[in-house]
Amino acid sequence: MKPGLFDDRSAIRDIGSEPYTILGGGPALLLQLAHPKVAQGVAEHSGFQASPFPRLFATLDFLSMAVFGTKDEGHRVAWSAMRAHDPVHGENYSAHDADLLLWVQATLFQVSKELYEYMHRPLSPERAEEYYRQNAQLAELLGAPREALPADAKEFDEYWARMVETLEISQHGREQAQAVMHPELLRVLLYPVMLVFRIVTTGLLPEPIREQYGLPWTPARQRTFVLIMKLTRTGTRLVPDPLLKLPVELAVPFARRFRWGKYQRPASRRSAPVLKVETGEAPAAENRKAG
């Protein structure tokens, strides 16, 4: 793919192009809603409980355009996301608050990193640092000041552990999590898919968060979760790398034609910050079939 804010050698494109990363959508969303201020903003400014998936699709649009699109597309979708955040504010919170921007991006980084390492092997310290730095750049693209973000991957790990242990999920968060895990429209139409979705989503959540949500987790569910993940990992290792990347290579031009067009026109005269993201300096991709 053409270079944009990142190039094909970058960790964020390499990891983001793995098709199984879609499994991280559910746990990332529930982790975001575990922050009381995020849950409050969603409850007061969206129809999330009636239809939770537009938020997920909007997040996928942002990630795909910023990571795999051109520089212009990346800045355009960031600008659009920032304008969508403008009216999202209330007592003691704003969608532009640096701590909320950090938390949302942190969930996407942590879940995708854990999925990648489960399917392949732990990232080297250098590759993990690169991947964190590039995710931090996405948070900056949405307006988070760099000084408000953890300085490096080690500092991020400390931040993540602290947040997971100290977050107190609100009633808003629990109600919205219920909408994610048991959407009315899909409950009957896609029952087997939603069953797998619930098991994988619950299994990928940190235990303190899972317990606060009151999500059931039995030895039988744990065994089912392990089986699903092992089958996914086996399938990943059997598929040649070019074929593994093919879905993203096909999806980007499709999305550019049918979804990204709505981000063409600005809604106001304000603009997203121009972020110069380094490209072309990433090390060669690690051997993902090892381990």
> Could you tell me the CA-to-CA distances from 37 to 17, 55, 68, 159 in Å, in that order?
31, 16, 30, 17
* Residues forming beta bridges with residue 89, ordered by sequence position: 94
pLDDT band at 264 (very low <50, low <70, confident <90, very high): low
- In this model, does residue 188 exceed pLDDT 90? no
Q: H/E/C letters for each residue in the chain?
A: CCCCCCCCCCHHHHHHCCHHHHHHHHHHHHHHHCCHHHHHHHHHHCCCCCCCHHHHHHHHHHHHHHHHCCHHHHHHHHHHHHHHHCCCEECCEECCCHHHHHHHHHHHHHHHHHHHHHHCCCCCHHHHHHHHHHHHHHHHHCCCCHHHCCCCHHHHHHHHHHHHHHCCCCHHHHHHHHHHHCCHHHHHHCHHHHHHHHHHHHHHCCHHHHHHHCCCCCHHHHHHHHHHHHHHHHHHHHCCHHHHHHHHHHHHHHHHHHCHHHHCCCCCCCCCCCCCCCCCCCCCCCCCCCC
Residue type, 42: V
Max mean pLDDT range (2-11, 123-132, 266-275):
123-132
Please determine, for residue 287, whether its predicted confidence score (pLDDT) is greater than 50. Answer: no
pLDDT at position 48, please?
66
pLDDT at 265: 54
**pLDDT tops 70 at residue 123:** yes
pLDDT attached to residue 258: 85
Are 268 and 42 a contacting pair, CB within 8 Å? no
Q: What is the rounded CA–CA span in Å between residue 226 and residue 221?
A: 9
Does position 275 have pLDDT exceeding 80, yes or no? no
CA distance 153 to 206: 19
Query: Of 12-16, 57-61, 110-114, where does mean pLDDT reach its minimum?
Result: 57-61
Domains of the chain: which residue ranges? 11-262
pLDDT band at 52 (very low <50, low <70, confident <90, very high): low
- pLDDT tens readout for residues 63-109: 989 999 999 999 989 998 898 889 999 988 999 999 999 999 999 99
Give 196-226 pLDDT, tens digit per residue: 999 999 999 999 999 999 999 999 999 999 9
Q: What is the mean pLDDT of residues 178-206?
A: 85
Instruction: Kindly state the percentage of the chain with pLDDT values over 90.
Output: 59
Q: Which of 114-123, 188-197, 250-259, 277-286 has the lowest mean pLDDT?
A: 277-286
Least confident of 62-66, 117-121, 135-139, 180-184: 180-184
